[in-house]
Amino acid sequence: MGLNPVATELSTAATDAVLAVLALACIRWLAIRMSEEPVKTRLWILVLALLAVASILGAVAHGFALSGDAIYLLWQPLFLSLGLVVALFVIAAVYDGVGPDAARRLLIPGLVVGAGFYLVTLLFPGTFLVFVLYEASAMLAALVLYGRLAARSGERWTWFMVLGIALNILAAGIQASGEVRLNLGIPFDHNGVFHLVQMVAIVTLVAGVGMSLPGGSHHTESKTNEV
């Protein structure tokens, strides 16, 4: 089994690998803050863990010259992971935008929807468009929740969440276009550029989550203002 001979497939694999490392680093950063708001922190850690799994599988699928059967087998857990990532992302948004009780009630139905997305990919194999549509719908719902929260509270962390989601939507648009190219000495096709934008989105979102936790900057600022 050798490396994929297509240069853009190798760069896509590399960005997938970096994405996995970034997700794991963010997990460690959030885990240190687990005691500050454990339920919310666990939700985001689970989102990042599933993203890391999907990225590792993607790195293998894109980076190596594999048989069609091997690629098909890799895409099964990858699609399941992505489906659950998106579902849990929305649940995390509901936690902030509506409340912990609503998020708790939505957890099981949300996981069922995420698993259901995977079943849909079995009915429509060979296309990433199904995931793009699923992700876009979920991101728009999350954007509405955080947009309302940002307009109502004006807290800085909420605007980080809005920006992070907007970047995710941009990344999905790049992926769906299939035409975006970038050459930084290394050629990137739409998949590689999708990952690059997604990295910025993840850092922005995790920064927002960190600021939203007790002891985060917005809490510190609030206490300072009260004094």
Q: In 10 A of CB 18, how many CB atoms? A: 15
Predicted confidence at residue 160, as pLDDT, reads: 98
Query: 168 with 223: CB under 8 angstroms?
Result: no
Q: What's the pLDDT at 49?
A: 98
Task: Give ∠ CA 152-157-162 in degrees, rounded to 5.
Answer: 75
pLDDT at 207: 97
Residue whose entry in the numeric block shows the structure tokens 């300072």? 224
Give pTM, 2 decimals: 0.90
Interatomic CA distance for residues 86 and 47, integer angstroms: 8
CA atoms within 13 A on the CB side of 152: 9
Which segment of 31-35, 42-46, 69-73, 125-129 scores lowest on mean pLDDT? 125-129
Q: Residue 225: which pLDDT band, with cuts at 50, 70 and 90?
A: very low
In this model, does residue 178 exceed pLDDT 90?
A: no
How far is CA 183 from each of CA 61, 91, 175, rounded to the nearest angstrom? 22, 37, 16
Contacts of 70 (CB under 8 A, 6+ apart): none
Asked if 56 and 65 touch (Cβ cutoff 8 Å), the reply is: no
Structure tokens at 80: 């399941």
- DSSP per-residue string spanning 35-46: GGSHHHHHHHHH
Q: What is the pLDDT of residues 146-162, one digit of tens each?
A: 999 999 999 999 999 99
Phi, psi (degrees; rounded to nearest 5) at 65: -80, 95
